[in-house]
Chains A and B, each alone.
Chain A
Amino acid sequence: MKIINLRTYLLFLAPAFILFLLFYAAPIFSGFYYGFTDWRGFSFSANWVGLDNFVNVFKDPLFTTALRNIFILSVIVLLVQHVLAILFAVVLDQKLKGVSWMRAVIFYPAILNTVVIGYVWSYMYSPFVGFLPKMFDRLGLDGLAAIDWLGRPDIAIFSIAFVIIWQYIGYSMMIYMAGLQSIPQDIYESASIDGAGARQKFFRITLPLLMPAITVNTVLSVIGNLKQFEHIWVMTQGGPANSTQVFGSLIYQFAFKTSQPGYGTAMAMVLSVFILVVTFTQIRLLSRWEVKY
C-alpha cells in the first residue's frame, strides 16, 4: 500500500534537496570548473586557463608540506588515539567504582569549542608563562622547559596532534565501548571453558569482533584529519614558517588573504578527490578484516 503519493514525496524531499543542492553540492562541484580558470573571486566570471592551476598546485612546496602534515596527523592519531582508546574502552567497560563518571570526564573535551581548546593549549605550551615550561622548570628539567612547543617548526605539528588526541580520545573510546557492548557475552564464556586466557580472548575474540567499530571510528577520524582546519587556525594559523599548514588553512588563505581563489579551488578539488580515494580505500581494506558471527 502506498502511504504517500508522488506529490507529497516531492514536497517533503524538496526543502532538504534544494538546500543541499544549492548551498553544498553546487558550490563544491562548481569548483571543478573554477579550478581550471584564472578566477579572482569577486564575481562568478572567470577565464579558462586549462591545467595551469593544477600544475602549480603539484609544484607548490606548500602542497607538499600540507600533505606531509595531514599524513602526520592521521598516522599519529590512528596509532596513539585509537590504540589507547581501545585500551581505555576495554578497561572502562569493567564494573569499577565511579566508572560512568570517569567515562564522562574523558569524553568531556569532545564537546568543547575549538577556540576554547586553542586558548588553553596555547597557554599550556606557551614559553616562560605556560604550564609545561613552568612544570618542567619546577622538576628541574631545563632542556624540556626551554622548548617552545608551538613556536618550533620541527615540533609544532606534533604539539597540535597531541591536542587533537587529547580532545577526541574520549569520543573514540565511547564508540569502541558501544562496539564492545554488541559482542555477545556467551562467546567469552565458552572461550573460558575451553581454557582461553585474557590475552587470547582479547586478540582472538574482542579485536576481530570490534572491527566494524574500528572501521567506522578510524574512517571518521582520518576524514576529520584530512579536513583539519580549526585546531591549526586557532593555535598557529599555519605557522611558524608555514610548518603547520594543512589544506584547510592553505585554501582559506588563498581564497581570502591572497585572493587567488582559482588556485585555492584547484587545491580544494585535489583534496576532495584525495579524501574520496583515501576513504574508499580505507573502507575496502578494513572491511576485509571484519568477521561475521
Chain B
Amino acid sequence: MSATAMIRAKKISSYGLALCAMVVILIPLFVLATVSLQDPAAGPNPLRLPDSFHWSNYSDAIEKGRLLLYFRNSMTVLVLTTSITLLASVLAGYALRHGKPWKGDLIFTFFLMGLILPGFAGTIQSFLLLRELSLLNTHIGLSIVQTSGGMALPIFLYLQFFKTLPLEIEEAAVIDGCSPIKLFWKIVFPLTLPVTSTCVIIIALNSWNDFFSPLVYLPSPDMRTLPTGLMAFRMQYSTQWQQLFAAAVLIAAPFTLLYVFIQRYIIKGLVGGAVKG
C-alpha cells in the first residue's frame, strides 16, 4: 500500500470509529426526544418519529410533576451551595497557601478525605445532626451538606492557583499598608477568575445533579429538588413514558443549553478539575 493510501485508510477508519461512538451515544438521546413528543394515548414507539408533535406532554408533565416548584427548589439549593462552597474554599485555599507548609499539607489531606470516603457512610449521623440544628428539610441544610462534601476539589484548585501567584504583588500591597482582608478582596480575589469559573461549573453541576442528599435530607415532598421530584413522578406514573420523557427533557434542558454554547469551557472545567485532582 502506498503512503497516501495508508493515510487515507487511517482517516477513513478514524471517521468510522468516531461515527459508531456518536451513534451509540446519540440513539438513547434521540429516543428520549422523539418519545417525549409522541401521543400519550398510544404505546411509545422508539423506532418511529411522532406523526404529530404532542407538546401537551410537556405542559402535562410540568403540571402533574410539579416541575416549577422543584425547579425553584433546585435553583435555590444551587445558588446557596455554589456561593457557600466558593467562599469557604477560596478563603481556605488562600490560608493554606500562606500557612506553614507541613500544616497546610496535613489540613489538605484532611479535606482530601472528602474526595475518597463515601459520603453516605455518615448519612444517618448527619441526618440527626441536621435535625438537632433544625436544618433538616431546609434548603440551607442541604446546601451545607453539599458544601461539606464538595469542597475538597475547589480548595485544591485554589491552592494550586495561589502557589503560582507571584508573592511580590501581595508584598507590595502589604508594604503600602493594605489590610489582609482588603488585600484579599481587592487584589487577590479578582485574579482568581479563571479558577473561580472552573469551580462554579463543577460545584453548580454537582449540586444540580445531586440525587442522594436531597433524597435523604429533604423528606418533605414540597422541598424536593428536580432529581428526587422526578424520581417520585416516575414512581407514580411508571407507564406514562411520553410524559416522563417530557419531564426528563426539561430537567436536562438548562445545562444542555449552556453546554451547547460554552461546551469548551464546561469540558475544560470538569476535566481540568479531575486532572489536577
Seen from chain A, the residues whose Cβ lies within 8 Å of a Cβ on chain B are 1-5, 8-10, 12-13, 15-17, 19-20, 22-31, 34, 41, 43-44, 87-88, 91-92, 94, 96, 99-100, 102-116, 119-121, 123-124, 129-131, 134-135, 138, 166, 169-171, 174-175, 178-179, 213, 216-217, 220, 223, 226-227, 229-230, 233-234, 247-248, 251-252, 255-256, 261, 264-265, 268-269, 271-272, 275-276, 279
Contact = CB atoms under 8 A, between A and B. Distances in A.
Interface in B16-30: 17-18, 21-22, 24-29
A114 B256 CA distance: 14
Contacts of A272: 117-118, 121
A111 B255 contact: yes
Given A20-B114, A123-B31, A261-B124, A112 B252 contact: yes
A230 B214 CA distance: 12
B96 A13 contact: yes
A279 B231 CA distance: 32
Contacts of A10: 95
B18 A92 contact: yes
B111 interface: yes
A230 B211 CA distance: 7
Contacts of A22: 129, 148
21 contacts: A9-B99, A12-B92, A15-B92, A17-B92, A20-B114, A23-B126, A23-B129, A24-B148, A27-B121, A28-B125, A88-B18, A92-B14, A92-B18, A111-B209, A114-B227, A115-B231, A131-B46, A213-B275, A251-B120, A252-B216, A256-B216
A166 B29 CA distance: 12
A20 B111 contact: yes
A25 B113 contact: yes
B226 to A, nearest CB: 7
Contacts of A174: 267, 270-271
B41 interface: no
B17 A119 contact: no
B77 to A, nearest CB: 14
A259 to B, nearest CB: 10
B107 interface: yes
The 6 A-B pairs at the shortest CB distance, nearest first, are namely A27-B122, A16-B92, A27-B125, A268-B121, A23-B148, A12-B95
Interface string B124-154: 1110110000000000000011011101000
A28 B115 CA distance: 13
A110 B5 CA distance: 37
A113 B209 contact: yes
A102 B111 contact: no
A111 B171 CA distance: 41
Given A16-B155, A123-B35, A255 B124 contact: yes
- Judged by DSSP, the binding face of B is helix
- Judged by DSSP, the binding face of A is helix
Given A44-B128, A103-B267, A276-B116, 18 more contacts: A20-B111, A24-B113, A24-B119, A26-B125, A43-B128, A108-B29, A108-B256, A111-B255, A111-B266, A111-B270, A114-B211, A115-B227, A115-B248, A120-B28, A131-B31, A171-B270, A175-B271, A216-B274
Contacts of A130: 46
Contacts of A115: 211, 226-227, 230-231, 234, 248, 251
Contacts of B145: 23
Contacts of A111: 205, 209, 255-256, 259, 266, 270
B132 to A, nearest CB: 8
A113 B95 contact: no
Given A104-B267, A123-B241, A220-B274, A88 B180 contact: no
A100 to B, nearest CB: 8
Given A3-B98, A121-B28, A131-B31, A34 B125 contact: yes
A261 B104 CA distance: 35
A174 B107 CA distance: 30
A41 B122 CA distance: 12
Nearest to A124: B28
B231 A19 contact: no
Given A20-B148, A23-B148, A106-B22, A229 B120 contact: yes
Nearest to B183: A3
A269 B121 contact: yes
Contact of A216 (B89, B259, B263, B275): B275
A120 B248 contact: yes
A23 B147 CA distance: 9
A3 B46 contact: no
Contacts of B264: 100, 104
B208 interface: yes
A134 B46 contact: yes
Interface in B256-277: 256, 259, 263-264, 266-267, 270-272, 274-275, 277
